[in-house]
Amino acid sequence: MARRLLLSYMVIIGLTVALMGLIINRVTAQTFSLYLANQAAAHSEMLPVMLTGYYARNDSWEGVQSDIEEAGLMIGAPVTLVDQQGRIIATTQPDLMGQTASNIPHINVAIPVLDGNNKTIGTVYVQRNISHQRADETFLADVTRALIVGGVIVALLAAGLGVLLTRSISRPLAEMEQAAIKFAQGDYTVRVSPHGQDEVATLGRTFNQMAESVGSVERLRRELVANVSHDLRTPLTVIRGYLEGLRSGQIADRRSAEMAFDAMHAEVARLLHLVGDLRQVAALDSGPLPLNRRPTILSTLVSEAIDRITPLAATKGVHLRSEISADLPSLNLDIDRMGQALFNLLENAVWHTPAGGTILLAARYQDEQLQLVIKDTGTGISAEDLPHIFERFYRADRTRNPAEGRAGLGLPIVKAIVEAHGGTVKAESEGLLGKGSVFTINLPLPAPPKQ
């Protein structure tokens, strides 16, 4: 590419310099000729007056040769007088005498001679002498050589600048080409180093953004495969163990069989839970989340979420509290989806709060918005994990038993549901494990009725 770009640049430079040289040479020659003509006309202004007076005094051109010779000496150039028939009747060049005007060489200017009635009685021609012609030709030749030398110098300078410009463009493009090859081979960590603010630098930054995005998607894909495989393997292994025990007769008594069926039922419930989350993620990827809005009383929504999470909280030994302002209005919400969002946050808080801890679910006005706050006294979220907890398949605690959570899908689903309602959700923590965390959902207030 660099060679093609440089060759194109050199061709453009050559054509431009040649064309400019040709134009300047032609214009210089024409301008110089015009200058000579004007100069000769200025020197010859007295000739028509003198010849008109001569013709008026003598009523003919007889004897005008001596005046023409004097005019030629005074002007410093050959002078020739032609009558009305185009015949040369007086000239400073004896070999032209008696010939026609078409035989006069190197005419520089031709001036008509008029009588008192503005009738043409002849034409006087002023020529360039040989020495003047040679000087003119030498001058034009010198101008042409100067143009050629100047054009060559300009072309060399432009070629040098073209080489630098070509390298400045081709080098980052070559770097991006190598990076793209590595990227295509699966190295999603490759980056380029753009400099400046031009289009090539912008392309480099865009490439880096693309590589970052694709790398993030690839990381999420790998985590999805690893997490889902792990989350599927654990309950399937438990179910397989119980089934083999039942088939081999190791689980023979009724009580053991009931315990085995209860355990398998719980594992199947977890599998259905995971499949349901995956289906919701697929629904989020397919377009805007559909909502079935209807007027909802927040106290009812909070109470239902508390009731759903109470059995799990009791098993973990975690205390639940709720604080609901009495003057909260009803909102148009999808009660099922918003209830699911609250349940996901509460479930997440229960799994991260040790026995004896407390979880608070509050609903209140704050900053002209309606807030739902879930605050726990659990393990908290580290500063490293806090910016990523709403990313799909992200797990802050990667050593935790997957049966205790949702493969990193619960919080992304919460975020999608809240944003579909026009709200926002955020997480806060002191960045230290053991300090607890706070999740806040902000929902817009209903518009006031039109008057």
Give the residue, 200 or 299, on which the prediction is more confident: 299
Q: Report the pLDDT averaged over residues 249-272.
A: 83
Cβ(342)–Cβ(301) below 8 Å: yes
The single residue listed with the structure tokens 């020659």 is 29
Distance from first CA to last CA of the chain, Å, rounded? 69
Tokens of residue 304, six digits: 């239902």
Nearest to 405 by CA among 284, 251, 293, 273: 273
107-114 β-sheet, strand order: 88-91, 79-82, 120-127, 107-114
Helix (H) or strand (E) holding 329: none
Asked if residue 292 has pLDDT above 80, the reply is yes
Tokens of residue 327, six digits: 């003057």
Q: Report the pLDDT averaged over residues 102-110.
A: 76
Query: What pLDDT is recorded for position 401?
Result: 45
Q: Report the pLDDT averaged over residues 171-195.
A: 84
Instruction: Please give the Cα distance from 313 to 357 (Å, whole number).
Output: 10
Domains in the chain with CATH codes: 199-285 (1.10.287.130), 294-443 (3.30.565.10)
Asked if residue 101 has pLDDT above 70, the reply is yes
For the stretch 43-63, pLDDT in tens is 556 777 888 888 888 888 888
Tokens of residue 433, six digits: 């494990």
Give the residue, 118 or 322, on which the prediction is more confident: 322
Q: What percent of the chain is modeled with pLDDT above 90? A: 8
Helix (H) or strand (E) holding 315: helix 298-316
Query: What pLDDT is recorded for position 440?
Result: 93
Tokens of residue 392, six digits: 């799909």
Which of the residue ranges 53-67, 89-103, 158-172, 298-312 would you say has the lowest mean pLDDT? 158-172
Tokens of residue 121, six digits: 């009685």
Which of the residue ranges 37-41, 58-62, 387-391 would you say has the lowest mean pLDDT? 37-41
Asked if residue 369 has pLDDT above 80, the reply is yes
Chain centroid to CA 302 = 47
Asked if residue 399 has pLDDT above 50, the reply is no
Cβ(422)–Cβ(370) below 8 Å: no
Query: What pLDDT is recorded for position 402?
Result: 43
Query: What pLDDT is recorded for position 165?
Result: 74
Hey, is 337 helix, strand or coil? helix
Q: Report the pLDDT averaged over residues 272-278.
A: 77
CA angle, corner 273, sides to 271 and 279, nearest 5? 105
Indicate the pLDDT class of residue 345, thresholds 50, 70 and 90.
Answer: very high
Q: Report the pLDDT averaged over residues 432-447.
A: 80
Q: Report the pLDDT averaged over residues 292-312.
A: 88
Asked if residue 451 has pLDDT above 50, the reply is no
Query: What pLDDT is recorded for position 130?
Result: 62
Asked if residue 432 has pLDDT above 70, the reply is no
Sign of CA dihedral 380, 383, 387, 393: negative
Instruction: Please give the Cα distance from 378 to 359 (Å, whole number).
Output: 9
Q: For residue 401, count other CB atoms closer than 10 A to its CB.
A: 9
Cβ(162)–Cβ(9) below 8 Å: yes
Average pLDDT, the chain: 80
For the stretch 212-248, pLDDT in tens is 888 877 877 777 777 677 777 778 888 888 888 888 8
Rank 66-80, 289-303, 435-449 by mean pLDDT and report only the highest.
289-303
- The DSSP letter of residue 186 is T
Chain centroid to CA 211 = 15
Indicate the pLDDT class of residue 132, thresholds 50, 70 and 90.
Answer: low
Query: What pLDDT is recorded for position 403?
Result: 42
Give the residue, 167 or 408, on which the prediction is more confident: 167
- The DSSP letter of residue 386 is G
Instruction: Please give the Cα distance from 285 to 231 (Å, whole number).
Output: 22
